[in-house]
Amino acid sequence: MRRLTTIFAAVIAVVTMTAPAFAAENKLAIHVDENNPQIMNMALNNAANVRAYYDAQGESVEIEIVAYGPGLKMYTEDSPVKDRISAMSLEIENLVFSACGNTLDAMEKKSGGKVPLLSEAKVVPSGVVRLMELQGQGYAYVRP
């Protein structure tokens, strides 16, 4: 039994030492809160450039673009960056597009109907809270 305990402890030590190698060490949260195509494109450029940098380093990176307020226009069906989001979602691993549920609810109340979002957008309860969560998880924060 003592030998089994020693073996188990050794396995736990190895798993604990190698576990971080499986998680992305580099994490980036990008914040978009303006209905401005230049800002939206800059956010997408930031994501693409960061991905290219870490690819060249042989490292992984997790990127999440969080849009709320007027910036939620980035994820609506008539988004000025709709085609770029579609292409980037297919080209870039670990890229998440988060849409603020609070903003979406307000937009739907104001319009009196459903506001369709791009299929790539994932609705989160609150954009601000999501940014707080990401920062708590070690994500760097950028606002273009």
| Alpha-carbon gap, residue 122 to 24, rounded angstroms | 20
| Alpha-carbon gap, residue 98 to 120, rounded angstroms | 9
In a domain, 16, yes or no: no
Q: Looking at residue 2, what is its pLDDT?
A: 57
In a domain, 15, yes or no: no
Question: In terms of pTM, does the model score above 0.85?
Answer: no
Q: pLDDT tens digits for 7-38?
A: 444 444 444 444 444 456 899 999 999 999 99
Helix, strand and coil content of the chain, in percent to the nearest 5, comes to: 55, 20, 25
CATH of the domain at 106: 3.40.1260.10
| Residue 36, both tokens | 């401005």
In a domain, 117, yes or no: yes
| Domain total of the chain | 1
**What single letter denotes the amino acid at residue 47?**
A
Spell out the per-residue pLDDT of the chain, length 144, in tens: 555 444 444 444 444 444 444 456 899 999 999 999 999 999 999 999 999 999 999 999 999 999 999 999 999 999 999 999 999 999 999 999 999 999 999 999 999 999 999 999 999 999 999 999 999 999 999 999
